[in-house]
Structure 1
Amino acid sequence: MATNEQARSTACLAERLIELESPKEVILAAGEWMAYRLEQEGFRWLGGRTSLERRLDGRLERIRLEGSRWNRSGKLIEFSVVGLEVFDRELEAWRKSNPGLTVERPDSVGGIVCAVSFLDISREAKAIVTISANRISAVDSLCEHTKEVALPWFSSSGDPENLAEAVPGALLRPTGFGQDLLEFLVSRGLHEEARSLIRRILALGELYRDAFSEGRGLAVSGGRPMWHSPQALGWSSEVLGLV
């Protein structure tokens, strides 16, 4: 049962969401309300990054929000869930310790495991909160939908030993996160699981196999691919001794 203090805090969050007027302030209040709704799942609101974040044993799961470019006070206030991201500190440390076994990435994504545009996996990514009386219900609806879509997506890469079978196929496209997921498994010492991931990707078609072969050839010749390039997975598989 909620304490009086918790009830007052909840009422304060609701009051802020209903009474604020500027789009930026309303969206920040909506993020706080979503964090309240997702509190039992372990998420908290980081207003500076306009994201909901959950930390689990060195793993960071992030839900990014973004306001519409067309927002105007009294005219339109709209925001969307725009992306899901997973980072891992142990993977980041492995990459820093093994620079010859990975590719260059921006420092901000040194620990990236995988990411996806929420717009690619959902058709209900936005909430229109222009009318103050409708805000609570609109944000609650988006929050519930986000929970239904995001939590299984996060879980798919949460268990390294089952990751090779569980991650969505969209992450494994030639310019997707196959290399990042492979490195994540290797950083955990799960080389057989990493090979299972490679086999799954190669079974997706000739386009994948051709890019993989090109990447292996690049590694043999001493080259290095760009991050998210079609050749990245084959290159990593070669330099990591997985093929």
Structure 2
Amino acid sequence: MSLPELVTPLKRQTLSADVYAQLRELLISGHMMPGEQISLRSTAAALGVSVMPVREAVHRLVAEQALELTPNRALRVPVMSVSQFREITSIRVNLEGLATEQAAEHLSDAAIVQITALHDRFSEEMARSRPDSSRLIAVNKELHFAVYKGAGMPILLQMIEALWLRIGPILNHDLRSGSRRVGEQVAVNHHARLVAALKRRDGVSARAALQGDIESAAEYIVSAGVLLAADAFEEPVPDAGKPALKTARRTRSASGRQTA
């Protein structure tokens, strides 16, 4: 499904903030793909606004490294390297693990009922002969953030959201591609252990279940070959007699050696 089909036309006055919120949610939820190019005009038309608030919103997302401008000035969702993905995964394990452990102690009974219902919805969809990947991705995100919000740590929640903003487009590759993890219901099993631990108020076991969910998905994504093998970074290069800078790209191999 293309971006113009995913967004909702806006009516309120805070247009730039609304555009930002919609695009941010699409990135966090994994509805936008790595490498997907974004047209300001098409997005503006889909939202029913002028190009200006869209441009302001995407500039915020570029500053947050959730979107990027390529050397030819095309706007796209970044393609992540293996080392970047592993680093973010390591941070997620710690931050989301902390939120989960704290949530086990602080979740209300109503919140546990909500999380259980989300787990049931996820399990039912996964059990279908042809699971709806969009529904799986949406419910998976709802379940995780219902747990994290239950920790009652708003700053920690903001940090987790910032990580999902970067990693969201690749995070649900297994759910989107219908991998063996879907057929074997690997995520369902991790979620079942997570929910059971939350009901027992067992923070250590809840954290372990969450960690297993993150790490098993990460292992599949790395093995699937959908990430860049080497990091790409930009370096300023003097332009013939002008103060402006050009862009040069180098890659860093797995051994750490730089190549032009």
1 or 2, which has the higher strand percentage?
1
Largest Rg, 1 or 2: 1
1 or 2, which has the higher helix percentage?
2
- Give TM-score scaled by structure 2 length: 0.30
Identify which of structures 1 and 2 has the higher relative contact order when contacts are C-alpha pairs closer than 8 Å and 6+ apart: 2
